[in-house]
Amino acid sequence: MIEALANALPHFRNTNSGQFFLMAGPCVIEGEDMALRIAERIQHMTDKLQIPFIFKGSYRKANRSRLDSYTGIGDEKALRILQKVSQQIGVPTVTDIHEAAEAAMAAAYVDVLQIPAFLCRQTDLLVAAAQTGKVVNVKKGQFLSGESMQFAVDKIKQSGNEHVILTDRGNSFGYSDLVVDFRNLPAMRAFGVPVVMDVTHSLQRPNQSSGVTGGQPALIETIAKAAIAVGADGLFIETHPTPATAKSDGANMLALDQLEELLVKLTRVREAVR
């Protein structure tokens, strides 16, 4: 399934390594220097371990709890930074879109369009993303089963686009927590598309009384290992040099200095289950 993505993604290296692929980067683009430094460091790690890598960064955060929450540095400015990452570092890029009108705009700068979990049933958004011809990564809603994501896949493929990825990011558990049901990964993989585990967002603790989402980053390794063990094709990990100072989602991010050690462990798990 990973090999099929190579035809649609420029710079998608190491696709014959038998490894999982990695979507990783900061939650939101905070600036050019930061984005390039993170992308370069992750590329160095993934090249060494022969892990295909897609750089992740949101050009804007539209789903925020509070009006004063950080949303970004400006759409076009952030998108141009993502484009520069692709051109200068030589890796494909992924970013979120939130409305149908954003699909064509973002597609001019990135290689993968990502549909946020809360929006995975929005038909107009899925169709608009599909019609750009870009790879479309749909995050499974926290309120849905893996089996129900068949309809998201159908909407994209019936709109003329065969390049679909599905990503799990946990299910709502009460009002302020998430739980990962690993049955969802093989259920979604049965649709014949690559399946990704969003490790860091699945460890969020949303809807806190402060209006700032919490998290459990100490469990990142646990969730990542389990996902690889049950057959995930890829992992999604948000990372930052200093999560405590990150503009968004710092509470559940992995420190960049810890990423390589984790990837080494995960390659061993991958080898053991192949």
pLDDT score at 61: 78
pLDDT score at 4: 81
Q: DSSP secondary structure string, 201-219? A: GGGEE-S-TTSS-EE-GGG
Angle at 85 between CA 37 and CA 17, to 5 degrees: 90
Query: What would the two tokens of residue 252 be?
Result: 């559940």
Between the alpha carbon of residue 212 and those of residues 65, 75, 97, 204, the distances in Å are 7, 23, 22, 10
pLDDT score at 199: 97
Domains and CATH numbers, the chain: 21-273 (3.20.20.70)
- What CA–CA distance (Å, rounded) separates 150 from 166? 10
The one-letter amino acid code at 271 reads E
Element (H, E) at 84: helix 75-89
Query: Taking the chain (274 residues) in consecutive chunks of 10 residues, what is each chunk's mean pLDDT?
Result: 86 90 96 97 98 96 67 91 98 98 98 97 98 98 97 98 97 92 98 97 73 75 98 97 82 93 98 92
Q: Are strands 195-198 and 178-179 parallel, antiparallel or unpaired?
A: unpaired
